[in-house]
Amino acid sequence: MAFGWHVAGMAPAAGALPRPVQAVAWWLAVTAMAAAAVAGAALWSERRGIEALRAGGEHRIALYVSSLEGAIQRHDYLPVVLSMNEDVRRLLRDPGDAALRDRVNRYFATVTQEAQSATLYVMDASGLTLAASNWDTPQSFVGSNYAFRPYFRQAMTSGRGRFYAVGVTTGTPGLFLSHAVSDGGRTVGVLAVKVSLDALEEAWRNGPERVLVADGAGVAFLSSEPAWRFRTLDDPSAAELRRMSLSRQYAGVTLEPLAVTGRGDRHGAPVLAIRDPDGPGTTEYLMQSVALPGPDWRVVILSDPAPVTAAARTAAAVAAFAVVFLLLVVLYLRQRRRRILEGMAARDALETANVELRRAHEELEVRIAARTADLVAANARLTREVAERERAERVLREAQDELVQAGKLAMLGQMAAGITHELNQPLAAIRTYADNAVVLFDRGLHDDLRTNLVRIPHLVERMARITGQLKAFARKTKARAEPVPVGRAVHNALLLIEQRLAPEGVELICVPADPGIAVVFEEVRLEQVLINLFRNALDAMKGQPVRRLSIAVEVRGERVRIRVRDTGPGIPDDVLPRIFEPFFTTKDAAGLGLGLSISAGIVRDAGGQLTVDGGPGGAEFAVDLPRAGAGEASSVRGTA
């Protein structure tokens, strides 16, 4: 089939009913089919049951008829045989013969006993009973006249009679069979036997259905249900009623109709609803009847169709179960189909996702390869650049070293004038002391002379120190870093600018530092940095109303900070970022623009930092250096 196992087939076609409506329609159809199946099964079962009941009824009704006929035939011969009895004929000829009558009575009694029939008796042509088998009982028929009975008249006219009636003498019902007694070609009397059918009724009572035998007037004179005896099945006609009353057929009995509450039809079979004889309810019966061939009697059987109804219910239940089972199977198959479809859809989706994934993976790999190639190229470029930088840095460092040297030389030039002045002072003093020494020697003032001479080496020493500074400053090679007492370095640096303070009216505020405070540095270089900072401060304060140079040394944990503050104009924001650049200067021809750049490099080399605060109120430079250990400091103190 084209439809079914395709996911696309699941989608509702354009113009089809919406899903919920489809579901409702499906369930309605299923419910209708289920109801039809259940009803059909119930009907089919009922029809089958009714048919079976009818077939069984027909069979059984034939049995009832034959049992009834058997009971009649068993006694039918008696009046025939006894009508031929010579004593009977003689009695009819001579009714006054008492001995004969007695003999006949006794003979009848014996026969009755043998044949187990109810009562045998003989009547003369007027209907008067001459002899009877019950001659010696209180209900004796002898002397009674039964000329009004139909069986008597039938026998008198047609030779034989048959009649069912309630006995007028005994009051008990029975079947009267009669036969004419002929003598010399003439009917002289009638011989009759009354047979009781109680045993038959009794036997029928055990059967599965109710059995009734009704006469031509519709009176049920035999019934397996005692309460229904002498009930009328149909309404007897007025003529019938007159006939019955004349023959005193059911004398002493009130004829009432059978309590039929409804008549109907089930699958072509007539159905009667009869009120139960021993309760308030009614029972439905399937009615079947058959007419007897001889008299106008009919045998009626009433079968209870309850088992058929029960069987129909069972069939309906079975059908319902079958429908439910079928429904479950259908639902299971639908579910299974849906699951298979879902599985297929999921597999398709998975496959699609897999393909996508594979494609994405391939794309990723291509991209990674491209990116890797880029990275390799970039790496190579970087490596090249790093090499380039390193080379540039090396060149720069060499250039810087050169610059440092050049800066130093330049500074040396600048300092030369100051130093000359610096040296001139002690030289002049030494000369004065020397001149004085000669005078004092001449005068013989030995004590004064001595004092004078002792001063000279001091001055020489000072000069030597100044020249020593210069030597160290001009040196290119790096000296070994050692603990330098900060106070001494500041003092030595101040010595070189001292001569500018007084002429320029600069106030110096310098708290001498604790000689124990030392930093790891090359002493000359630290002095060079400080001289540079002092000089810049003095330059900045030129022409300023307040000229104050403040120097302070602070210990901050493992670091030492030397702060150099001035009261100059400070450093403008646009200048500040550039002051550490080599050759940046605002001093026209006077400045080289190397001082701060070299100083920052020196401090950085020593593991320190040179920072600036541009103002306002003047600039403050700070040299931050690692502090020398306690042991080193003590050794420093010893040499200070």
Question: What is the distance between the alpha carbons of residues 296 and 24, in angstroms, rounded to a whole number?
Answer: 64
| Least gap, CB of 628 to ligand ADP (angstroms) | 27
Q: Which is nearer to ligand ADP, 230 or 584 (CB)?
A: 584
Minimum gap (Å) between residue 473 Cβ and ligand ADP = 15
Length of the chain: 640
d(CA 110, CA 382) in angstroms, rounded, equals: 153
Closest CA to 83 of 139, 20, 142, 159: 159
Would you say 305 or 568 has its CB closer to ligand ADP? 568
Q: Nearer to ligand ADP by C-beta: 156 or 602?
A: 602
**For residues 620 and 624, which CB has a smaller minimum distance to ligand ADP in the complex?**
620
The β-bridge partners of 509 are 550
Identity of the amino acid at 107: Y
Whether the Cβ atoms of residue 196 and residue 203 lie closer than 8 Å to each other: no
Of 155 and 564, CB closest to ligand ADP: 564
Closest CA to 149 of 136, 132, 162, 134: 162
Smaller CB distance to ligand ADP: residue 234 or 605? Answer: 605
In the complex with ligand ADP, which residue's Cβ is closer, 504 or 632? 504
Quick one: tokens of 624?
């931050």
Looking at the Cβ atoms of 75 and 525, the one nearer to ligand ADP is 525
* Beta carbon of residue 487, minimum distance to ligand ADP (angstroms, whole number): 22
DSSP states along 496-507: HHHHHHTTTT-E
Q: How far is the CB of 528 from ligand ADP (least distance, A)?
A: 12
Work out how close the CB of 565 gets to ligand ADP at its nearest, in angstroms, rounded to a whole number: 9
- What's the min distance (Å) between Cβ of 543 and ligand ADP? 12
| Token digits of residue 569 | 């104009």
Q: From CA 63, how far away is CA 77, in angstroms rounded?
A: 22
Q: Can you give 67-114 as a three-state secondary structure string?
A: HHHHHHHHHHHHHHHHHCCHHHHHHHHCCCCHHHHHHHHHHHHHHHHH
Q: Which is nearer to ligand ADP, 447 or 588 (CB)?
A: 588
Collapsing DSSP to helix, strand or coil, 291 comes out as strand
Burial of 566 (0-12, 13-18, 19+ CB in 10 A): buried
Binding site for ligand ADP (CB under 6 A): 532, 536-537, 540, 566, 568, 571, 579, 584-587, 591-597, 619
Distances (CA, A) of 107 to 75, 122, 176, 325: 16, 12, 19, 78
CB of 610 to ligand ADP, least distance (A): 11
> Smallest distance from the beta carbon of 627 to ligand ADP, in angstroms?
25
- Least distance in angstroms from the C-beta of 470 to ligand ADP: 19
Whole-angstrom distance, CA of residue 344 vs CA of residue 346: 5
- As a whole number of angstroms, the distance between CA 606 and CA 633 comes to 17
